[in-house]
Amino acid sequence: MHQAVAELAAERGYGAFTVGDVAARARVADTSIYRRWGSLEALSADVALTWLTESSPIPDTGNLRDDLRAYAAGVARDVSGPSGLAVLRLVIALAAAGEPGIAARDRFIAERGGQMRQMLDRAAARGEPTPSTLDIVDHVLAPLYVRVLFGLGPLTSEYADDLVDRLLRA
């Protein structure tokens, strides 16, 4: 089911396929999708989160700068590829459809935010100065996302490193 959604999102974009399309591709009945996920939005958010957690696990290197650099480099690599870009567009599109897309998006954000917070809590426990999760969103994730969404050049690992260094200097 996950693969079917990821393929359809990459091929057509979110909003351009239905539960019926997913069911046909995964060779299951529509009703089994509704029974397990309740809606296309909930299934899509689940797929996006699983994909992201597997492809970009939150790093644990022993110091925050290296954690953040590894994390930023992973995000830069992911969103530069077709699957990662499709996930990013999916999360954005979820909310455009109103409820229950907004609820699915918010669950996704809360889950991913919780993972980031674990990284920050470990740094704080080591006595390192730590930014907030919103600081990371604002000054590391947001530039990466917007550059790729607006086609503003390739995301190199040097650029991702610079974003992290700038955040930790601020």
Binding site for a copy of itself (CB under 8 A): 13, 15-16, 89, 91-93, 95-97, 102, 105-106, 109, 134, 137-139, 141-143, 145-147, 149-152, 163, 166, 169-170
Quick count: other Cβ atoms within 10 Å of Cβ 45?
26
Is the separation of the CB atoms in 60 and 122 below 8 Å?
A: yes
Q: Which is nearer to a copy of itself, 124 or 134 (CB)?
A: 134
Minimum distance from residue 68 beta carbon to a copy of itself (Å): 16
Taking the complex as a whole, how short is the minimal distance between the CB of residue 32 and a copy of itself, in angstroms? 27
Q: Token match 């470990």: residue?
A: 122
Between 32 and 132, CB nearer to a copy of itself: 132
- Give the nearest distance from C-beta 102 to a copy of itself in angstroms: 7
